[in-house]
Amino acid sequence: MVLENAKVIALTGNNAFSVKKLLSVDDLTTNYLVYSPLSYDRPDDNWLLDIELYSEEFRADLISIWMDEMGLASNPAMRKQVKKYRAYFNAKDRRLKISTQNKVPATPAQLHMAVMATICGLKDAQPNQILRSVFRAGLDLNNNAVYQDFVKYHADGAFWAMVRQGCGFSEEEPDLGRLAIHLLLTAVTRTMRQEYLAGLDGFISMPHQAYCYDFISEWLHSDKVNSGEVGRQGAPVRAGRCPGAEGGLGRDIQQLYDVARYVEDEARLRQRFEKLTVDDLVGTECFPCINEVILTKLMTEISDHIIDVDTIISTVEKRRTCAWYEPFKNFYDGILQVANMQSFFKEHSSGFHTAEAKGIWKEYTESYYQMDTYYRLFHLSFQKSLETSNILLDDLFKHVVDKVEGIYTHWFLGELGNNWSDVCADELVAYGKVLEVPQQEEFYCSRIKTSDTKVFVIISDAMRYA
C-alpha cells in the first residue's frame, strides 16, 4: 500500500521496539499508518500502547463494525468477548437488542449479562430477572428454550458463573432442579432453624443466605410479571395449578409455586415439617406445604376438641401476610371463626340465665348475635373451600364442621332457646307477645309513617339481626 501523505509500517510481533524508537525518537514529523494485526492479553505487553492512546484508530474488520454499531467500548477485552458471541451478534436484530438495553455494557462482565438478558427478553441485565426467566422455561434443561439458547450462543458458561457467584451453587453437572432446591433451602434458613433441615446441608450455603432469601422473597411478592420482560414463556415445571390461582395469583407466582412444589417433593419436606410445631413453622413462607401442615395440625386438634383460641388467632394473623395465603384463605378464615365461637363459648360456659325476656333481647342485640355471625362466616368459608379443593385438607375441614355444629346447634341454640322459652312463656300466654320488645307489626307506624324523608327498607335473609 502506497500513501501520498503517510508512510506504512506493519507490526510483525518482533519489531515493536524499532517501531517505537522510530515514532518516538527518530522521526517526529512524518505521518505514519501503523498496521497492527496483533492482540495482547495484558496492556503491559503492548509496547506501543502510549502511541495508540494519543493517535487516531481505524478498524475495518467485522467485529469492530459490530462493536461500533452496538456502542461498545473498543478494547481488547471487549473484542475478545464479542468474538466469543459471534454467533449471537451475527444477526442485526440481536445486535439492536444489545444497543437498546437500558444500560449499554461497558465491561466484559456486563456484556455477558447483556447477552443473557436479551436472550431472556429483558431490557435490564439483572441477575435475579435472568435466573427467574430460566426457571420460567422449566427445570428440564433439555426442554428449556431459554437455556438451550444460552448453549447455542455460548452463554451457558456465563450463566453458571453468575449462579455460582450469586448463590454459591456449583456442581459438575448443570441441573436446574438441584439449583432450585439449593436456592429455596438456603433462603428458608433465614426464618427456620437450620437444624430442622439436617441432612440437607449439601444444598445450603450460609454465606449466600442473604442473596437467596432476597431472590425468593422478591419473587414471592411479585404481584405480576416484571414490566421489563417482553416475553419468553416456557413450559410449566410441574402439572397442576395453584389452588386459588384464578383468584388473583399471576403467572409469575404460579411458576414459583410449581418450583416450590417440586422442591417439596424432591426433598420430602412435608414429612419433615410434620414433625415440627406450629410455632416452628408459622414464620416461614417459602413452601406452600407449610400452610397444609399448619392447617392439618390445627384442624386435627379442633376435631379432637382441643381449640387453642390464642394460637389459632395469632397463627391466622401471621399467615395472612405470607405468600401462598390466598390458596388457603378459606381454611384459615374458617378456623378463625371456630376460634371466635370457642371464645364466645368460654365466656358463656355457664349457660344463659337471664330472668326477663327483654333482658335476653337486649343481650342478643348487644352480644349474643355475634355467635350467629361467626357461624355464618364459618359456613361461608367452608362453601368457598369446596370450590377450590385441597385433597389434604378437605376431609379435615368436614370434621371441623361437626365440631362447629356441636357448639352452635347443640350448645348455643339449645341453651339460649331454652332460656328464651322459659322467660317469655307467661307473657306469650297472657298477651300473645313479648312486652317491651319492638314488634314487627308496628314497624310501619313507628318508623315509616312518621318519617319526613324518604326511607329505604332492607329486608335481610331470614330477617337475621346480624
C-alpha grid cell, residue 426? 307467661
Closest-CA residue to 303 (of 411, 404, 399, 407): 399
The pTM for the full model equals 0.78
Q: What integer pLDDT is reported at residue 46 of this predicted model?
A: 84
Q: Judge contact between 153 and 115, C-beta under 8 A.
A: yes
SS3 label, residue 400: helix
Closest-CA residue to 102 (of 253, 267, 256, 230): 230
Q: What integer pLDDT is reported at residue 396 of this predicted model?
A: 96
Q: What integer pLDDT is reported at residue 438 of this predicted model?
A: 82
- Report which residue type is found at 399: H
Q: What integer pLDDT is reported at residue 58 of this predicted model?
A: 67
Cα(297)–Cα(96) distance, integer angstroms: 56
C-alpha grid cell, residue 240? 397442576
Going residue by residue through the chain, which has 466 residues, state the pLDDT in tens, using 9 for 90 and above: 677 778 888 888 888 888 888 888 888 888 888 887 777 778 888 878 888 888 777 666 788 889 889 999 888 889 899 999 999 999 999 999 999 999 999 999 999 999 999 999 999 999 999 999 999 999 999 999 999 999 999 999 999 999 999 999 998 898 999 999 999 999 999 999 999 999 999 999 999 999 999 999 999 988 643 433 444 544 444 434 555 444 445 677 888 999 999 999 999 999 999 999 999 999 999 999 999 999 999 999 999 999 999 999 999 999 999 989 999 999 999 999 999 999 999 999 988 988 888 889 899 989 999 999 999 999 999 999 999 889 999 999 999 999 999 999 999 999 999 998 888 888 888 888 888 788 888 889 888 888 899 999 887 765 555 5
**Number of Cβ within a 10 Å radius of residue 367:** 12
Cα(225)–Cα(121) distance, integer angstroms: 12
Q: What integer pLDDT is reported at residue 249 of this predicted model?
A: 53
